[in-house]
Amino acid sequence: MHTEEPQEAERLKREAIAWVVRITSGAATEDDAARLARWRASDANHEAAYRDAVRLWKASGPALQAGTVRSRRISRRSFLGAGAAGASMAAGVSFASYLGLVPSLNAVLADYATPRGQQQQLTLEDGSIVDLDGGSTLSVAFSENARSVTLHDGAALFTVAHDRSRPFTVSAAQGRTTAIGTTFAVRHGTEDVEVECLEGEVRVECVRDARLSAGDSILYTQQGLGAISAGSPDEMAAWRRGLLVFRDRSLDDVVLDINRHRKGRVVIARDRLGTRRVSGVFHLDRPDEIIAHLEATLQLSASRVGGGVVLLY
How many secondary structure helices (H) and strands (E) does the chain include? Answer: 8, 20
Q: How far is Cα 74 from Cα 90, in angstroms, rounded to an integer? A: 6
Q: How far is Cα 163 from Cα 168, in angstroms, rounded to an integer? A: 8
- Residue-level length of the chain: 313
Report H helices in the chain: 6-23, 30-41, 44-60, 76-82, 95-98, 105-109, 251-259, 287-298
Query: What sign does the dihedral 238-244-248-253 (CA atoms) show?
Result: positive
- Residue 301, classed as helix, strand or coil, is coil
pTM here? 0.73
pLDDT band per the 50, 70, 90 thresholds, residue 47: confident
pLDDT tens string 282-311: 998 888 889 999 999 999 999 987 778 889
> What's the pLDDT score for residue 71?
33
pLDDT band per the 50, 70, 90 thresholds, residue 145: very high
> 38-42, 76-80, 268-272, 274-278: which has the highest mean pLDDT?
274-278
Give yes or no for residue 235 having a pLDDT over 70.
Answer: yes
Q: What domains, with CATH codes, occur in the chain?
A: 6-109 (no CATH), 120-235 (2.60.120.1440), 242-312 (3.55.50.30)
> What's the pLDDT score for residue 185?
98
pLDDT tens string 250-267: 999 999 999 999 888 899
